[in-house]
Amino acid sequence: DRLIIAVSETYDIVVTIPADKTAYEFLATPEDRTKSTSLYIGSGIKQLVAPLPKLKYFEGMKMMNGMMKMNGDLDDMGMSMSLNKMDMNVVMYPEITGETKPKTNTKMEGMKMDAEQYNANALSDITTLNYAMLKSPIKTTLPENAPVKELKFELTGNMNRYVWSLDNKVVSEADKILIKKGENVRIVLHNNSMMRHPMHLHGHDFRVLNGQGEFAPLKNVIDIMPMETDTLEFNANVDGDWFFHCHILYHMMSGMGRVFTYENQPANPEIPNPKLAQRKLFADDRKFHFMAENDFATNGNDGEAMYQSTRWSIGTEWRLGYNDMHGYETETHIGRYIGKMQWLMPFIGFDWRYRRMGEDMQERNLFGQNNTKDKRAVVSLGVNYTLPMLIVAQAEVFTDGKVRLQFERKDIPVSKRLRMSLMWNTDKEYMAGLRYIITRWGSLSSHYDSDMGFGAGFILNY
């Protein structure tokens, strides 16, 4: 059997030890399967478990690429998923779907492919335990006749920018959720993001409505897979401000949570300064993060640095040639991401360039505008829009009257380690590049660039 335990989830498991002089291996491994630990249950001859095979990450990436609809919502193909019964990640688990392509299992015949291709228990003889199988040994029903408050949350996020939220709002952008003492609170959660989120509520155990009726299990963490909808309920019976959040700490820090608070409750003596406490909580998702990379190439240095938060972006790109003819160029954009999917980013920009062209050389852009100045320092207004296939379209108007349209797609996965980038703009500049990822922080690169020609180098990234 397999049991997938989410971050911060806890289980007490009762194991029956067979009385046949055999020690059975109990193997635990993190989800990325890089390490493992085992203990042996029973005494006698050790019965070993085969180590779990490596995940098929590339299959997982292809699966995720097919999941999103044009408006950014996830496409559940008409399956109503809940309680971990279907798991898109099975495409990455070789023990379920085989080493290379999905196993053609006799069990599959006659089943509707769409609905069952992610049902681990239909695909394999291994049993994958899920929430629908949990049952409380005692009745867990809530007080009858209590008023019911229903709350709905959509788990939202942006894989590209690593923004995580509820209903597209981070903690510091949302109000506290007011609940009344005595009422039964029902929470419906739908995961419209591409990652699993173990949602955790402080101060209460909630019932997971999993089809077990009066014996619904009590938990305080529920792991919700992409496209799943789950319903929880609890009786509001403990005063306080209680954090409800994704327990993947990176997601929590980026703002995936809410504070539940009781109406008209007495002041909490443990929080003498509520304003300060709130400011500290909000500081988490208001933090900026820094990224930078530079390609040390035979034809120059090519790089960028970004300083970004949930909504804001300050970014600089540079191209520094090794001589005046190639020139030196930087573009800085300060913008704000707009909308649920953050596909739109209006920005103000600052461009600076120095180069020395030959005396008779003139450049003309696609709109017939001349481009003669060797020194150029201009301010701009512009907008980025992310098109399908993650192509970023950029329109920019500069203070010297120039207009530029640009299309760029970075990081096209060609194979596991090979990435391609393409760029073209109306200044008739273009670039095509390949990078081969060696480690997390370094890649080999080669690119062709209309300004600086062919180059090969090494990209360092932070």
Is there binding between residue 185 and Cu ion (CB under 5 A)? no
Q: Match 């938060």 to its residue by tokens.
A: 309
Cα angle at 194 between 67 and 413, to 5 degrees?
65
- State the minimum distance, in angstroms, from the CB of residue 333 to Cu ion: 29
Residues 216 and 209: beta-carbon distance below 8 Å: yes
> Which range of residues in 84-92, 194-202, 228-236, 367-375 is near Cu ion by CB under 5 A?
194-202
Distance of closest approach, residue 89 Cβ to Cu ion, in angstroms = 15
Our finding on whether 251 is near Cu ion (CB under 5 A) is yes
Residue 190 touching Cu ion (CB under 5 A):
no
- How many residues touch Cu ion under the rule CB under 5 A: the total is 4
Q: Is 200 in the site for Cu ion (CB under 5 A)?
A: no
Q: Does 189 bind Cu ion (CB under 5 A)?
A: no
Which one, 193 or 294, has the nearer CB to Cu ion?
193
- Nearest CA to 78 among 115, 129, 43, 46? 115
- Which of 142/248 has CB closer to Cu ion? 248
Work out how close the CB of 199 gets to Cu ion at its nearest, in angstroms, rounded to a whole number: 8
Question: Which listed residue (166, 248, 259, 345) binds Cu ion by CB under 5 A?
Answer: 248
Q: Is 186 in the site for Cu ion (CB under 5 A)?
A: no
Which 3 state secondary structure label does DSSP give 309? Answer: coil
Q: Which is nearer to Cu ion, 88 or 248 (CB)?
A: 248
Region from 43-51, 197-205, 228-236, 378-386 binding Cu ion, contact rule CB under 5 A: 197-205
10 Å Cβ neighbour count for 365? 17
Q: Which amino acid does the sequence have at 388?
A: P
Q: How far apart are CA 68 and CA 166, in angstroms?
A: 18
User: Closer to Cu ion at the Cβ: 255 or 315?
Assistant: 255
The nearer residue to Cu ion, 42 or 198, going by C-beta atoms, is: 198
Residue showing tokens 């993001």: 193
Which residues, listed in sequence order, are joined to residue 461 by a DSSP beta bridge? 293
Give CB contacts under 8 A, 24+ apart, made by 287-296. Answer: 287/253, 288/312, 290/462, 291/461, 291/462, 292/461, 292/462, 293/459, 293/460, 293/461, 293/462, 294/459, 294/460, 295/445, 295/447, 295/455, 295/457, 295/458, 295/459, 296/457, 296/458, 296/459, 296/460
Q: Which of 363, 350, 294, 353 is nearest to 324 (CA)?
A: 353
Distance CA 423, CA 432 (A): 7
* Nearest CA-CA partner of 379 in 364, 404, 355, 397: 397
Residue 310, helix vs strand vs coil: coil
Single out the residue of 200, 185, 2 nearest to residue 84, CA to CA: 2
Minimum distance from residue 142 beta carbon to Cu ion (Å): 27
φ/ψ bin of 453: left (φ > 0), alpha (ψ from -120 to 50), beta (otherwise): left
Binding of residue 258 to Cu ion (CB under 5 A): no
Are the C-beta atoms of residues 127 and 121 closer than 8 Å to each other? yes
Q: Which stretch binds Cu ion (CB under 5 A): 229-237, 240-248, 261-269, 423-431?
A: 240-248
171 binds Cu ion (CB under 5 A): no
Mark 343-382 with x for binding to Cu ion (rule: CB under 5 A) and - for no binding. Answer: ----------------------------------------
Q: Which residue number, 254 or 386, has a Cβ lying nearer to Cu ion?
A: 254
C-beta of residue 217 within 8 angstroms of C-beta of residue 234: no
Report if residue 208 touches Cu ion, rule: CB under 5 A.
no
Cβ closer to Cu ion: 72 or 442?
72
447 part of the interface to Cu ion, by CB under 5 A: no
Question: Among 56, 186, 190, 197, which residue sits at the site for Cu ion (rule: CB under 5 A)?
Answer: 197
Nearer to Cu ion, 39 or 159 (CB): 159
Minimum distance from CB of 260 to Cu ion (Å)? 18
Three-point CA angle 318, 319, 321, nearest 5°: 145
Segment contacting Cu ion by CB under 5 A, of 24-32, 38-46, 249-257, 325-333: 249-257
Q: What is the DSSP letter of 380?
A: E
Nearer to Cu ion among residue 225 and residue 345 (C-beta): 225
Query: Shortest approach of Cu ion to residue 120 CB, angstroms?
Result: 21
Biggest alpha carbon distance in the chain?
93
By CB under 5 A, tell whether 246 contacts Cu ion: yes
Q: Which is nearer to Cu ion, 209 or 248 (CB)?
A: 248
The window from 70-78, 141-149, 196-204, 297-305 that contacts Cu ion (CB under 5 A) reads 196-204
Binding string, residues 29-48; x marks residues near Cu ion by CB under 5 A: --------------------
Is 261 within 8 Å of 148 (Cβ atoms)?
Answer: no
Does 96 engage in binding with Cu ion (CB under 5 A)?
Answer: no
Stretch that binds Cu ion, among 70-78, 192-200, 227-235, 369-377 (CB under 5 A): 192-200
List of residues contacting Cu ion (CB under 5 A): 197, 246, 248, 251
